[in-house]
Amino acid sequence: MGAVEVLVVYELRRVLAKKRVLVLIAAVFLMEAGLYLVVTRLPPSLLGPASPYVWMLGIVAPTLGLLQVTSLMVGSTVFSDEYEAGTSDFWLTRPISRTEYYIGKVLGGLALVLIIISAYTAFSVGIAWFVFGPQQRLDLLVTSLPASVASSLPFYAIGLAFSEVLRRGMMATVLSGLTFFGSYIFEGYASVVAAFSNDRALLELSQLLPTWGSTRIATDVLVQGLTGSGLPSTGILSFLAGSSGGSSLSLMLLNVAAYTAIALLLAWLRLRTSDVTRRAQ
């Protein structure tokens, strides 16, 4: 294996050894199980023709917050743990370039996020099929799975940027978490104020926040895929449409791409131009 492949495998093993990451992964699956338990308690008349589409709830729910928190937790350990443990010296005194080191570490953390998303997607479809019978429109997995990955990217990259810039794991985790929750809370306040004052300026301002595209893109992809499917406008479709906010998919993609690219660039510049064997002073 080449240097990048070795680093990817190493990073996967290293992150999976972190207890806080394992706790968050477990929380994702517990939330999925709890969600379907609640849905089974709904009256059949309420669920009705939406039963074959219940699997979509398990795709959307993690992207409303828990996936982002898990991703930033993974990202915030990628570089900082190496500095704190002194293992950055080990890697960068080997015949490996900084570019290979950066790519291998970034892809290793991202590989874990992809595994988590794939696992809970399969779990969601499987449990929905078992409890509610055959599921329909599974062809939408082709677009909803990449959309879920896109949901995770901004905060994975933000956590990773803090990890390299600060070189302290706990501080990187706290600041990237504050970025997520601060953005999320501001969006909530903006929506409430806009609803009462009919002021669209706050809603437009919230489109510049990192949570705006991240928490909506997977839902919007599913809503667009269900349009014209004959599913009643109440129930699941109504919930999905309300979660997406009816915004432009292209703007969501731009929001996600911009925050991801900027954060990754900051991390790369920090690694490229500084003494990699020392923590930030």
Asked if residue 278 is part of any domain, the answer here is no
Asked if residue 279 is part of any domain, the answer here is no
Asked if residue 280 is part of any domain, the answer here is no
Angle, helices 217-226 vs 236-244, to 10°: value is 130
Asked if residue 281 is part of any domain, the answer here is no
Question: Whose structure tokens read 């329909």?
Answer: 136
pLDDT tens for residues 239-264?
555 555 556 888 999 999 999 999 99
Instruction: Report the pLDDT averaged over residues 71-88.
Output: 88
What is the overall mean pLDDT for the chain? Answer: 85
CA distance 222 to 229: 11
pLDDT value at 151 more than 70: yes
Please, which residues have CB within 8 angstroms of residue 20's CB and are 6 or more apart in sequence? 73
Q: What is the pLDDT of residue 68?
A: 95
CA distance 222 to 240: 8
Provide the strand spans (E) within the chain: none
What's the number of domains the chain is made of?
1
Asked if residue 202 is part of any domain, the answer here is yes
Asked if residue 246 is part of any domain, the answer here is yes
Question: Whose structure tokens read 């929001």?
Answer: 255
pLDDT tens for residues 43-59?
776 676 778 888 888 89
pLDDT tens for residues 198-245?
777 777 888 899 999 999 999 889 888 877 555 554 455 555 555 555
Asked if residue 41 is part of any domain, the answer here is yes
CA atoms within 13 A on the CB side of 196: 5
pLDDT tens for residues 102-144?
999 999 999 999 999 999 999 999 998 988 888 888 999 999 9
Asked if residue 193 is part of any domain, the answer here is yes
Which domain, by its residues, includes 46? Answer: 3-273
pLDDT tens for residues 13-24?
888 888 878 888
